Amino acid sequence: MDWYVMGVDLGSTTAKAVIVDQDGRMRGSRVVQMGAVSREAVRIAMDAALDDAGLTQDDIVRTISTGYGRRLVPGADKTFTEITCHARGAAALHAGARLVIDIGGQDSKAIALGEDGLVDRFAMNDRCASGTGRFFDVLCRALEVDIAEVDALALAGDENLEVSSMCATFAETEVISLLAQGAERGDIAASVHKAVASRTLGLVAQVGKNSPVVMTGGVAKNRALVHFLERALGLDIVLLTDPQIAGALGAALIAREEYQGDLAAAAEDEKTAHDLDGRLATPSHSCVDCDGHLERHGPVPVTLQMSFTDR
């Protein structure tokens, strides 16, 4: 009988859901953006992933959640951290990955993977929004440019400006100040992207550079940041088709492994019970004198009967 599992990644600004089958193949996925830690977004993402796979919730045997709002995912059987899930998802999306850079809406992470694809070391910046999706939202608001256009603007500019503030709260003020001084928007965008890449390099330094490098999270779609980060690292970065689903995919693959383990354990328990039933159904001894004993003395007490030995 076929079975399916689901992984759900509820981040600070987006909800992602992925469904994989018993063979580990991805059957459906969806990314939904609807504001901060949105319960509505996660419901829509889960329903849309089911529709994409042609399944219903009844077909899902296990759900694991991850992300900023992982404890808010309805029906989740267990939760795992983003570190574990992004590492697992990135390794599945690019075999042999050794370094994962995950930049989400509220935090950023550098994760070193071993040869087995499991987490070896990691460093995380979750106390400051510098270089995260929120930071780029602030930049775009100050520059009055759409988030989908800021990377092209940065790639066309010169990174010759000094950007001192990497704080999302104060960056907007600094950008407005640079504009007031007559700086070009493209130069500001390029300089900020260069500064973010330098800050991310410091995070990578805590776990060690290695390749292949895979970038996950929504900010991985920013071509300018990938460009400046590759230059800072001195390494190429693998561009995934959909970097936002890595965490949800990792959660789904973990759910699959856990369910397979439960099935194997149940099969072993059933085999043990069957073997035990077979032993209990087999006579425990053979006594040629039993029939004669019953005729002379009647039934033997159980404790005595089990202690008879062959003569």
> Does residue 191 lie within any of the structural domains?
yes
Same domain flag for 133 and 230: yes
**Rounded percentage of the chain residues whose pLDDT exceeds 70:** 85
Query: Residue 59 pLDDT > 50, yes or no?
Result: yes
Helix (H, G, I), strand (E, B) or coil at 102: strand
Same domain flag for 114 and 222: yes
Among 259, 215, 221, 234, which Cα is nearest to 94's?
Answer: 215
- Looking at the structure of the chain, the number of domains it has is 2
At 268 the pLDDT is: 84
Among 94, 62, 93, 64, which Cα is nearest to 80's?
Answer: 64
Rg (CA), the chain: 29
The angle at the Cα of 58, spanning 56 to 62, to the nearest 5 degrees, equals 110
> Does residue 9 lie within any of the structural domains?
yes
Longest Cα–Cα distance of the chain, Å, equals 118
Same domain flag for 226 and 133: yes
Helix (H, G, I), strand (E, B) or coil at 18: strand
Q: CA-to-CA distance for 170 and 128, rounded, in angstroms?
A: 12
CA distances from 278 to 267, 273, 275, 283 (A): 17, 9, 5, 10
Average pLDDT over residues 166-193: 88
Residue 176 structural domain = 108-239
Among 13-17, 33-37, 205-209, the range scoring the smallest mean pLDDT is: 33-37
Helix (H, G, I), strand (E, B) or coil at 90: helix
Average pLDDT over residues 58-82: 96
At 299 the pLDDT is: 55
Among 35-39, 61-65, 133-137, the range scoring the smallest mean pLDDT is: 35-39
> Does residue 306 lie within any of the structural domains?
no
Q: Which residue's structure tokens are 């995912």?
A: 73
105-164 per-position pLDDT tens digit: 888 999 999 999 899 999 998 666 667 888 888 899 999 999 999 999 999 999 989 887
One-letter amino acid of 22:
Q
Q: Enter the tokens of residue 66.
A: 């991850």
Same domain flag for 76 and 137: no
At 30 the pLDDT is: 97
Same domain flag for 173 and 141: yes
Same domain flag for 122 and 209: yes
Same domain flag for 152 and 179: yes
| Residues whose CB is less than 8 angstroms from the CB of residue 96 and which lie 6 or more positions away in sequence, other chains included | 212
Contacts of the segment 58-62: beta carbons below 8 A, 24+ positions apart: 59/3, 59/4, 60/4, 60/5, 60/6, 60/19, 61/3, 61/4, 61/5, 61/259, 62/5, 62/6, 62/255, 62/256, 62/258, 62/259
Q: CA-to-CA distance for 132 and 126, rounded, in angstroms?
A: 10
> Does residue 202 lie within any of the structural domains?
yes
Same domain flag for 132 and 169: yes
The CATH number that applies at residue 182 is 3.30.420.40
One-letter amino acid of 131:
G
The angle at the Cα of 34, spanning 14 to 218, to the nearest 5 degrees, equals 30
> Does residue 139 lie within any of the structural domains?
yes
At 305 the pLDDT is: 43
Same domain flag for 14 and 130: no
At 303 the pLDDT is: 44
One-letter amino acid of 205:
A
Same domain flag for 212 and 254: no
Among 124-133, 153-162, 175-184, 250-259, the range scoring the smallest mean pLDDT is: 124-133
Same domain flag for 167 and 227: yes
Return the beta strands (E) in 192-295 as ranges. 213-216, 237-238
In the predicted model, what is the mean pLDDT of the chain? Answer: 87
> Does residue 86 lie within any of the structural domains?
yes
Same domain flag for 75 and 113: no
Q: CA-to-CA distance for 117 and 97, rounded, in angstroms?
A: 7
Q: CA-to-CA distance for 59 and 74, rounded, in angstroms?
A: 16
